[in-house]
Amino acid sequence: MNDKELVEKDIFSKVLRAGRRTYFFDVRATKADDYYITITESKKFTEEDGSYHFKKHKIYLYKEDFASFNEILSEMTEYVINHKGEEVISERHQKDFKKESDGAEYSNSEETTSNSSKSYTDIDFDDI
């Protein structure tokens, strides 16, 4: 199939917004009116000056690969959920980190207070 045969026409589209990433699922048609799917990941990157740009990655999925693709994708997602559950690990780590840092702040402030009282010297101002 050459570039002239692959004239993309959008037939059906869905969008999944996921944080800095957006996924576009599009059913498209070739010039011969055969359908295929494109999956595009678009990720936003922000520069220090506030400007931003997007990086995009695209997958073309043709009808002859649908069954195998779907089977493997289902197997892979099932494997991840069975072995790691549905909770997002980075969110769990954020919760754990917050608990640890909250506790650390408390114990650090306690430690600072007790250390400062231990290092406190009783001064008699008459000596000065």
Which tens digits make up the pLDDT trace of 53-82?
999 999 999 999 999 999 999 999 999 999
Residue 59 CA to residue 106 CA, distance in Å, equals 50
Confidence of residue 10 (pLDDT cuts 50, 70, 90): confident
State pTM to two decimals: 0.59
- 113 has pLDDT over 50: no
- 103 has pLDDT over 60: no
Q: What pLDDT is stored for residue 109 in this prediction?
A: 40
Angle, CA 35 vertex, CA 31 and CA 38 arms, to 5°: 105
In terms of pLDDT, which residue wins out, 11 or 99? 11
Residue 16 CA to residue 57 CA, distance in Å, equals 15
CATH architecture, domain defined by 1-66: Roll (3.10)
Residue 8 in 3-state DSSP?
coil
- For residues 94-104, average pLDDT: 57
Residue 24 CA to residue 15 CA, distance in Å, equals 5
Confidence of residue 25 (pLDDT cuts 50, 70, 90): very high
Residue 65 CA to residue 110 CA, distance in Å, equals 62
- For residues 10-39, average pLDDT: 93
- 15 has pLDDT over 80: yes
Q: Do 34 and 63 contact (CB within 8 A), yes or no?
A: yes
Angle, CA 89 vertex, CA 83 and CA 94 arms, to 5°: 160
Enumerate the β-bridge partners of residue 17: 22
Residue 33 CA to residue 8 CA, distance in Å, equals 10
